[in-house]
Amino acid sequence: LVGDGFTDKGQFPFIDQFNLKTKKKTRLYQSKYTNKKETLNSLIDAKKGEVLVQIESKNEYPNYYVINIKKKSAPTPVTFFENPFKKIENVSKEVIKYKRADGLELTGTLYLPAGYDKKKKEKLPLIMWAYPAEFKDKNSASQNTSNPNDFTYPNYGSPVYWVTRGYAVLDDAAFPIVGEGKTEPNDTFLEQLVADAKAAIDAVDALGYIDRNRVAVGGHSYGAFMTANLLTHSNLFAAGIARSGAYNRTLTPFGFQSEERNYWEAPEVYNTMSPFMNADKMKTPLLLIHGEADNNSGTFPMQSERYFNALKGFGAPTRLVILPKESHGYSAKESILHLLWEQDQWLEKYVKNKK
């Protein structure tokens, strides 16, 4: 038996031997790393005790090793990959824990620029990136599977790049939407969404690192939907970035995400949750980005086009960027470089240099 080994004190993967006759387990191995992450990939030779593992840290690129759980010898390296992201190698990274106003425990991964002085505490602009998730009980919503020793591996959609531009970044901020018993999560979607955001900002602000008047929020797909709602129903943010999102829930009338009720069963929920229906309230700068060929059933490009037209009709500061031939995710080099440029220009104008 191989387990991920998540505990209150960290992640410690393990290998157990299970006796089918006696039903008893014997712990054969458990990782002891506290400053690195060890992943148990495969059992090479059970009799010899040889296991292929992957070891990494927040600034050490993942490499493969062979360990012997019987001899307990030092890991033997199999690969020697170097870190290809030297510019963010020494950024500060930690998983912070905090609580929502109702006591729900939340987490997020906080990045600070390399060399940032945590004693002087220069006030930085903050970028928060998230994706909401629905739960039917608070215990599940509070579970933490983030490992601070995960290698910092940016992709095209990552906000981590902006630590090199002088921002603090709170990535993968927890945004649980909980509905227990007969109550459905989306019955109080907006209230919980704003509470999640406020708790995250309060937590980073309490550390003394940020200027809470210069905070941006962003997300992709359902995270874009989250972003539009946060800008509409709170005054917590200076600007937002919404990519490949859906903004009118009546266009997904037979459910979305974990919502199982259709529009005709819960019209108030669909209308209340739709940023399009509340376009007249939205006055915060919002950058909308969408792939021209998005074939995801819930996020056709029309979603961004109609929402953009509604916002412009009410004079909101907004910009719509359509990426040619891109689908729900983006892949062309030209698209990704343009995406990064658009996001950077937006953040510099409306967040870092907010007037």
Q: Which pLDDT belongs to residue 286?
A: 98
- Listed in sequence order, the residues at least 6 apart from 117 whose beta carbon sits closer than 8 Å to its beta carbon are none
235: its two tokens? 């005054």
Q: If pLDDT is split at 50, 70 and 90, which confidence band does 341 have?
A: very high
Q: Which CATH architecture has domain 86-352?
A: 3-Layer(aba) Sandwich (3.40)
Region class of 344: left (phi > 0), else alpha (psi between -120 and 50), else beta: alpha
Q: Which pLDDT belongs to residue 59?
A: 87
Q: For the chain, what is the radius of gyration of the CA atoms?
A: 23
Instruction: Provide the mean pLDDT of the chain.
Output: 95
What average pLDDT does range 39-50 have in this prediction?
Answer: 91
Residue 8 confidence (pLDDT) above 90: no
Region class of 325: left (phi > 0), else alpha (psi between -120 and 50), else beta: left
pTM of this structure:
0.90
Q: From CA 233, how far away is CA 194, in angstroms rounded?
A: 8
Active site members: 221, 294, 328
Q: If pLDDT is split at 50, 70 and 90, which confidence band does 7 have?
A: confident
Q: Where, residue-wise, is CATH 3.40.50.1820 in the chain? A: 86-352
Q: Cα torsion at 269, 270, 276, 279 (round to 10°)? A: -10
Higher pLDDT, 58 or 162: 162
Angle between helices 189-206 and 222-233 (to 10 degrees): 80
Q: Are strands 133-135 and 176-178 parallel, antiparallel or unpaired?
A: parallel
Q: Which pLDDT belongs to residue 142?
A: 83
Q: If pLDDT is split at 50, 70 and 90, which confidence band does 291 have?
A: very high
Q: Which pLDDT belongs to residue 205?
A: 98
Q: Which pLDDT belongs to residue 235?
A: 97
Residue 114 confidence (pLDDT) above 90: yes
pLDDT tens-digit readout, 176-226: 999 999 999 999 999 999 999 999 999 999 999 999 999 999 999 999 999
- Percent share of the chain, pLDDT over 70: 100
128: its two tokens? 């928060």
Structural contact between residues 330 and 336, judged by C-beta atoms closer than 8 angstroms: yes
Residue 144 confidence (pLDDT) above 80: no
Q: If pLDDT is split at 50, 70 and 90, which confidence band does 351 have?
A: very high
Q: Which pLDDT belongs to residue 296?
A: 94
CA distances 320 to 245, 307, 350, Å, are: 12, 10, 16
**Around 164, how many Cα atoms within 13 Å sit in the side-chain half-sphere?**
12
Residue 246 confidence (pLDDT) above 80: yes
Residue 241 confidence (pLDDT) above 80: yes
Q: Which of 199, 97, 186 is nearest to 142 (CA)?
A: 97
Q: Which pLDDT belongs to residue 72?
A: 81
DSSP secondary structure letter of residue 229: H
Structural contact between residues 92 and 111, judged by C-beta atoms closer than 8 angstroms: yes
Q: Which of 90, 171, 167, 169 is nearest to 122 (CA)?
A: 167
Other CB atoms within 10 A of residue 318 CB:
22
Q: Which pLDDT belongs to residue 93?
A: 94
Q: Which pLDDT belongs to residue 138?
A: 87
Q: From CA 104, how far away is CA 31, in angstroms rounded?
A: 30
- Percent share of the chain, pLDDT over 90: 86
Q: Which of 239, 238, 236 is nearest to 200 (CA)?
A: 236
Q: From CA 29, how far away is CA 14, in angstroms rounded?
A: 5
What average pLDDT does range 24-52 have in this prediction?
Answer: 92
pLDDT tens-digit readout, 247-276: 999 999 999 998 999 999 999 999 999 999
What average pLDDT does range 308-327 have in this prediction?
Answer: 98
pLDDT tens-digit readout, 59-110: 899 999 999 998 888 899 999 999 999 989 899 999 999 999 999 999 999 9
